[in-house]
Structure 1
Amino acid sequence: MGDFRLPSLGADLEHGKLVEWLIGPGDHVSPGDSVAVVETAMTTLDVETQQEGQVTELLVDIGTTVPVGTPMVRIMETEDGAAQPAPVSDPPSDLPSKAQSEVPSEAQDRVSTLRRAIGSLMSRSKKSIPHYYLSTTLDLRAALEWMQQVNQQRPVASRLVPSALLLKATALAAREVPEVNGFFTDGIFRPSSSVHLGVAVALRHGGQVAPAIHDADTLPLDVLMQRLRDLVGRARAGRLQRAEMADPTITVMNLGDLGVEAVFGVIYPPQVAMVGLGRMVEQPWAHDGLLGVRPAVAATLSADHRVSDGLRGGRFLGRIDELLQKPEEL
């Protein structure tokens, strides 16, 4: 017999409110199964278990706010993973059914709560992390020419967009420059062997969240773009997975669609870097004594000086630009 406890919900999130149970007594659960919907100051998350066994008791009432680490579900482990007969007793009467549990939250109060949570997190970041900032201009001429050629052979629904190329190049560069990809905790930097690319998503009622596209450096461009669309949709609908909020290793903020030319972000602790992308512009460009025009994007890096410096940060931004010059290899 073991208890499933409320796991980490993301940076600076210490409490969660139980909104809905997705399982009940007698159900069999396996690692990765979603067991509950939990509301945090940032968003609403599907929380998954990493245990195998049969649910015997739900320990928290719907509508209750509990700290991370609180026992939520009692699970009877089974040797062969097979479900045992359901317990004779009915679930407690004060645990509403799934239909009863759908309690609407008011807009999202939620907006002011989200603002306070973001403000608290960013304030802690600026106070505790010695930020340094770099910027460069990404030459998109080769990337866009290649993308246009590829898109000519595709239906509209499956065409690539510039954001997919920018995100993939960022993920690959983060893998090659590990000082920007990982977590600084307990005075120690722990680089990540995977690139879980956090993507800042603006929410409809205000505020933002930054869930992760897992293993973004290994995904083909088409898959990465599908994951991006899915992630944005679920973020705005408030149905993210807990892991998507808990484990981004580096975050990208793209404000180009809002007309912003450059953005210098604040690092999401315990991460150690944030990339900012502005809008695509046409700018004059001199090459081999000739003046032309090229499409370009301003890219910025906010990084933790305890882990990296201008040399490594500059290498990271430079590598993004190099990768975009060979888009067929992304």
Structure 2
Amino acid sequence: MGIFVMPSLGSDMESGKLVEWLVTPGEAVQRGDVVAVVETQKGAIEIETFEAGRVESLTAEPGQTLAVGAPMAVILAEGESAPAPAPASTPAPAPAPASTPAQTGAAEAETTAPAQPPPAEPRRPERPPAPAARDEAPAETGTTAGRASPAARSLARERGIDLAGLRGSGPGGAILLSDVEAAGAPRGERAAAQPAPGRIDMAEMRKAIAAAMSRSKRTIPHFYLSQTIDIEALSSSLETDNALRAPADRILLGAAFVRAAVVAAQAVPGLNGHYDDAEGFEQAESVNAGVAIALRGGGLVAPALIDAGTLDLAATMQGMRDLVGRARAGRLRNSEMTQGTITVSSLGESGAEAMAGVIFPPQVALVGFGAPQRRPWVVGNAVVPRRTVTVTLSVDHRVSDGRGANRFLAALADALQSPETP
């Protein structure tokens, strides 16, 4: 594995701010473990590892802003050695020039220093790395507070929260920043005056969205196909099923929309993947359905349901609830922000009857669902009132044409009649 770098969490991301480390040097990590929290223009994102290994050193400190690709840590796979620093190419020092006594000190410094300084070796953060050193307050000794992140400890002190009473949601029960925020204790004057780390800056988020969408419209030749679909049977089926479920387990119409889009992407895989200017279109092996989520106070993120093709309707609903909760708490993961293969956006139960969305690069399609509408509909030889939804498919014309997009909408319409289709 070697050098662990600042990942790119969006097509227009140039840098990120390290908020907190969730691991210490010497600690073992597994694939999928969250090791750090990074703040971007779209909020705080949990950063995962994609291989198992051991943390050799942490070379970036909380609070640092790092460019995409900048080293953050050294994480070694089993049997792997730490990368040696590059040797310094230092030419032989030049002979000391003749000097007066007043110049002697400066001349000596010039002749003993190398012409170019060697590259700095990665350094550990100044904070104590050992877990035992984290137990700063006596009240925390012997509890999971010993596994609290530095940012969580800082916020807990500001809010007067006893970490001994919190249950951590991080790796190994570690208490995260979001756990402290969720504790709901009153803020002190200092906390009121200074936002907690990882708080979303809505102005910056709007800038990020503007940059990404402007790039999308400049570089992707969009075209759009729309179809209005009868969802009376689907709506009635969900109402009957939900009457037997507890409120927390009920399935919303939006989950059926996402499920149908996933089934359509499996049937027409030419719209499921990424486009690269150099390599062209790369079809994805699985469907990672991006779900557009409106954040409280404004802003939008579209994290992905990873491998959504393996989820039935109930699991899709559960996954969406989880994404929405973590998106609004600032606990999304980098894999969810970067691995989406097609995005679904829905206006909800009320509002405009159609929407034509802008594709999230490097994806090549977006499925937009308008709000369901009741309208006259021809069934057999009769005109009857039916619940319908208008679906608009935004497509990258470099990858597909009207025929492929039409096949996708036909597959989606079929799936909306039976969303449990495997």
TM-score (normalised: structure 1): 0.90
CA shift in 2, pair 1:328/1:73, >3 Å: closer
Inter-partner Cα distance in structure 2 for 1:245 and 1:6: 14
Aligned to 2:328: 236
Letter in 1 for 2:273: G
Please point out which of 223, 229, 232 is paired with 1:141.
232
Which range is displaced more, 280-289 or 195-204?
A: 280-289
Residues 40-119 of structure 1 correspond to what in structure 2 (within 5 A)? 40-79=40-79, 92-93=126-127, 97-98=150-151, 99-100=153-154, 104-105=196-197, 108=200, 110-119=201-210
Is 1:209 equivalent to 2:262 in the alignment? Answer: no
1:260 CA drift (Å): 2.1
Letter in 1 for 2:150: S
Select the structure of larger CA radius of gyration: 2
Letter in 2 for 1:100: S
1:148 CA drift (Å): 2.7
Inter-partner Cα distance in structure 2 for 1:241 and 1:230: 12
1:255 CA drift (Å): 1.1
1:94 CA drift (Å): 8.7
Inter-partner Cα distance in structure 2 for 1:152 and 1:185: 47
Inter-partner Cα distance in structure 2 for 1:14 and 1:149: 49
Is 1:39 equivalent to 2:22 in the alignment? Answer: no
CA shift in 2, pair 1:9/1:94, >3 Å: farther
1:9 CA drift (Å): 1.4
1:228 CA drift (Å): 0.2
1:107 CA drift (Å): 6.6
Structure 2, unmatched stretches of 5+, are 81-122, 130-148, 156-176, 178-194
Q: Is contact 2:286-2:307 (8 Å) kept?
A: yes
1:2 CA drift (Å): 2.2
Inter-partner Cα distance in structure 2 for 1:90 and 1:9: 25
1:215 CA drift (Å): 1.4
CA shift in 2, pair 1:107/1:59, >3 Å: closer
Please point out which of 163, 166, 174 is paired with 2:257.
166
Inter-partner Cα distance in structure 2 for 1:192 and 1:134: 22
1:237 CA drift (Å): 0.9
Which range is displaced more, 228-237 or 29-38?
A: 29-38
Which range is displaced more, 39-48 or 4-13?
A: 4-13
Please state which structure has a larger fraction of its residues in strand: 1
Inter-partner Cα distance in structure 1 for 2:38 and 2:74: 17
| CA shift digits 1:280-323 (9 cap, x unpaired) | 11100112221101101111011100001111111111211111
Residues 117-132 of structure 1 correspond to what in structure 2 (within 5 A)? 117-132=208-223
Residue identity (%)? 46
1:279 CA drift (Å): 0.8
Is 1:291 equivalent to 2:383 in the alignment? Answer: yes
CA shift in 2, pair 1:209/1:34, >3 Å: same
Q: Is contact 1:25-1:91 (8 Å) kept?
A: no
CA shift in 2, pair 1:24/1:197, >3 Å: same
Q: Is contact 1:12-1:121 (8 Å) kept?
A: yes
Is 1:305 equivalent to 2:397 in the alignment? Answer: yes
Inter-partner Cα distance in structure 1 for 2:75 and 2:207: 36
Q: Is contact 2:44-2:199 (8 Å) kept?
A: no
Aligned to 1:274: 366
Letter in 2 for 1:97: P
1:172 CA drift (Å): 0.5
Q: SS at the partner of 1:329?
A: coil
1:133 CA drift (Å): 0.8
CA shift in 2, pair 1:216/1:50, >3 Å: closer
CA shift in 2, pair 1:292/1:112, >3 Å: same
Q: Is contact 1:43-1:209 (8 Å) kept?
A: no
1:55 CA drift (Å): 1.9
Inter-partner Cα distance in structure 1 for 2:223 and 2:394: 6
Residues 319-330 of structure 1 correspond to what in structure 2 (within 5 A)? 319-329=411-421
Inter-partner Cα distance in structure 1 for 2:349 and 2:238: 19
Aligned to 2:6: 6
Aligned to 2:17: 17
Q: Is contact 2:350-2:372 (8 Å) kept?
A: no
TM-score (normalised: structure 2): 0.71
Structure 1, unmatched stretches of 5+, are 81-88
| CA shift digits 1:118-153 (9 cap, x unpaired) | 111111111110000111112101212222332343
Number of equivalenced pairs: 321
Inter-partner Cα distance in structure 2 for 1:328 and 1:76: 43
Q: SS at the partner of 1:39?
A: strand
Report which structure shows greater RCO (CA 8 Å, sep ≥6): 1
Q: Is contact 1:275-1:301 (8 Å) kept?
A: yes
Inter-partner Cα distance in structure 1 for 2:124 and 2:373: 63
Is 1:248 equivalent to 2:301 in the alignment? Answer: no
Aligned to 1:86: none
| CA shift digits 1:76-133 (9 cap, x unpaired) | 44349xxxxxxxx99623999342386725974x111111111111111111100001
